[in-house]
C-alpha cells in the first residue's frame, strides 16, 4: 500500500525560508573566519596569509607541540578598534604576540584574564598588515641580539622588553608548556583578511522542489 503525504504549502514555504536564512547566516559566519590550513609558519616570511572578503573576526588553529608556533597575516582596517585575543582558561595556555610588517615586535600578552590573553584596542595606530603569533607559554620569539620579550613576567600586555627588543623576529627558543594538538581560538575586532579571496562559483546549499497537482 502506498501513501501520498503532502505538507501544507504555507508550512513548506516557511521551512524553505528557514533553510535559506540558515544558509545565509552560516555562510556569513564562515566568511568572517579563518581556519589554519596545513601548518602556519613560525616566521614572518612563512606566516599563513588569511584570505577572504570583508572583516575577519576569528582565527582557529592547533599547536601540534610545545615548540610549534603559528603566525598569521591580518590586515588592520580600523586601528582604534583593533584588538586580538586568544581564548584561555589558565596562564599555561598559549600566548599571543603582535608583530609589525617589518618583523619587529609590537605587543604580547601572557596573562589569562577574563578568559582571554588580550592585545587591547588602541595598540595599533596605522592601517596595514600585521602578524599575529600563537605560541606555547615559555617558548619565546628571538631576534639576533636575544629574546624580544622577557620570559614569564605575567604583567599583562607589554611592548618588547628583552635584549632583542628592537630587533626583527629571527626564530623561537625556550621551554614551552607541554602541549599536544592544542586547539586555540583568536578573536579579533577592527581587522580584515590579509588578502582578497580568489573568486569562485558559489556553492548551492540545496534545492527544494515542489510538486503541485
Specify the pLDDT at position 31. Answer: 78
Judge whether 183 lies within some domain.
yes
Task: Calculate the CA 107 to chain-centre distance.
Answer: 16
Nearest one of 94, 31, 34 to 59, comparing CA atoms: 34
Specify the pLDDT at position 86. Answer: 98
Number of domains in the chain: 1
Contact 51/194 with Cβ under 8 angstroms? Answer: yes
Q: Which domain holds residue 48?
A: 35-193
Specify the pLDDT at position 198. Answer: 53
What percent of the chain lies above the pLDDT cut of 70? 78
Specify the pLDDT at position 9. Answer: 54
Name the grid cell of 138: 615559555
Judge whether 16 lies within some domain.
no
Judge whether 24 lies within some domain.
no
Q: Residue ranges of the alpha helices (H) in the chain?
A: 9-31
Specify the pLDDT at position 97. Answer: 98
Judge whether 206 lies within some domain.
no
Judge whether 20 lies within some domain.
no
Strand 191-193 and strand 69-76: pairing? antiparallel
> From first to last of its 213 residues, what are the pLDDT tens digits of the chain?
445 545 455 443 443 333 333 333 333 346 799 999 899 999 999 999 999 999 999 999 999 999 999 999 999 999 999 999 999 999 899 999 999 999 999 999 999 999 999 999 999 999 999 999 999 999 999 999 999 999 888 999 999 999 999 999 999 999 999 888 999 999 999 999 999 865 443 433 333 333 333
CATH number for the domain harbouring residue 145: 2.60.120.380
Is the four-CA dihedral 100, 106, 112, 116 of positive or negative sign? negative
**Phi and psi (nearest 5°) for 163?**
-65, -25
Judge whether 11 lies within some domain.
no
Judge whether 10 lies within some domain.
no
Task: Calculate the CA 209 to chain-centre distance.
Answer: 39
Nearest one of 60, 27, 51, 36 to 193, comparing CA atoms: 51
Q: What's the burial of 118, exposed, middle or buried (CB within 10 Å: 0-12/13-18/19+)?
A: buried
Specify the pLDDT at position 75. Answer: 98
Judge whether 71 lies within some domain.
yes
Amino acid at each position: 500500500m502506498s501513501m501520498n503525504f503532502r505538507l501544507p504549502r504555507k508550512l513548506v514555504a516557511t521551512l524553505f525560508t528557514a533553510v535559506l536564512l540558515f544558509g545565509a547566516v552560516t555562510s556569513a559566519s564562515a566568511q568572517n573566519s579563518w581556519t589554519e590550513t596545513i601548518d602556519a609558519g613560525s616566521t614572518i616570511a612563512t606566516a599563513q596569509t588569511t584570505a577572504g572578503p570583508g572583516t575577519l573576526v576569528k582565527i582557529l588553529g592547533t599547536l601540534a607541540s610545545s615548540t610549534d608556533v603559528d603566525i598569521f597575516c591580518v590586515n588592520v582596517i580600523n586601528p582604534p578598534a583593533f584588538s586580538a585575543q586568544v581564548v584561555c582558561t589558565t596562564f599555561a595556555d598559549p600566548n599571543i604576540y603582535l608583530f609589525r610588517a617589518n618583523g619587529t615586535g609590537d605587543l604580547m600578552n601572557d596573562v589569562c584574564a577574563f578568559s582571554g590573553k588580550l592585545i587591547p584596542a588602541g595598540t595599533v595606530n596605522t592601517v596595514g598588515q600585521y602578524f599575529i603569533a600563537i605560541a606555547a607559554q615559555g617558548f619565546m620569539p628571538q631576534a639576533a641580539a636575544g629574546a624580544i620579550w622577557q620570559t614569564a613576567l605575567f604583567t599583562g600586555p607589554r611592548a618588547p622588553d628583552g635584549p632583542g627588543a628592537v630587533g626583527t623576529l629571527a626564530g623561537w627558543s625556550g621551554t614551552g608548556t607541554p602541549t599536544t594538538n592544542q586547539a586555540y581560538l583568536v578573536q579579533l575586532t577592527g581587522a580584515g583578511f590579509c588578502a582578497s579571496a580568489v573568486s569562485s562559483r558559489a556553492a548551492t546549499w540545496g534545492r527544494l522542489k515542489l510538486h503541485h497537482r
